[in-house]
Amino acid sequence: MSMEKRLKQKTRIITFAIVLGALFISGCNNTNDSKNEPFDYGELGVSEYKYPEEFAIGDNLRAMLENCAIYYTDYDNSNEIDAEWEQGFIHNFCQNSWFGYDYLNSIGDNGGLTISKEQVEYIYNSFSGNSAEFMSLTEGEDIKIDEASSGFSYAELLDYKTEDNGDEINLSVTFKISNAVDGDIEKEGKVTLIKNPYSCFDGYSVKNFHIS
């Protein structure tokens, strides 16, 4: 075999090896991407939210914002959370008889009286857009949702104006806050939402929330 033919054959072998290596790396990356999902959404019974062409506040998102107007009047999702905050979140979002949304209601409608640690963490992810392990809960611990309670305040979203910035939605909001002490009070504020396709709050999470 001539030197020229040997060089051509060697070049073809090297090229083939490079292509195989690239395909192998690509396959590994695709596998890792699928494992990077924070939850098994199929196991949780959650489907990806289909966004409409124009933004509108759905029932689940509205309920969440009204709940924030009571418990999270000055919230930023970059803030650190601790065990006390976790327990407050469980009380406000998982054991609140005045706050209902489809994901939690569907568990109760199917006879479920408890939710798991993972389900609590999924609800937190839906609310904040962040993934976090609730260290105040233990693996296998059941959180009772049939022992719900609530405070003595009620919020109603009266009006909102929208500014769409791609994956972020900026809202100017007006709430009516009602309680036995102060009666009805209107409060205005600013909210920034971020898209979170698997959020149980109509595909959105709260980046920050402030009313005064």
Domain total of the chain: 1
Question: pLDDT value at position 97?
Answer: 80
Question: pLDDT value at position 78?
Answer: 97
Q: What integer best gives the mean pLDDT of the chain?
A: 84
Confidence bin at 25 (pLDDT 50/70/90): very low
* Rounded Cα gap, residues 92 and 98, in angstroms: 9
> What single DSSP character describes residue 139?
T
Is 5 part of any domain?
Answer: no
Global pTM reads: 0.80
Residue 57 domain boundaries: 46-211
Does position 77 have pLDDT exceeding 70, yes or no? yes
Residue showing tokens 């029932």: 59
Nearest to 205 by CA among 130, 127, 131, 132: 127
Is 102 part of any domain?
Answer: yes
First vs last Cα of the chain: how many Å apart? 86
Query: Could you tell me which residues are beta bridge partners of residue 183?
Result: 179
Question: pLDDT value at position 125?
Answer: 98
Is 19 part of any domain?
Answer: no
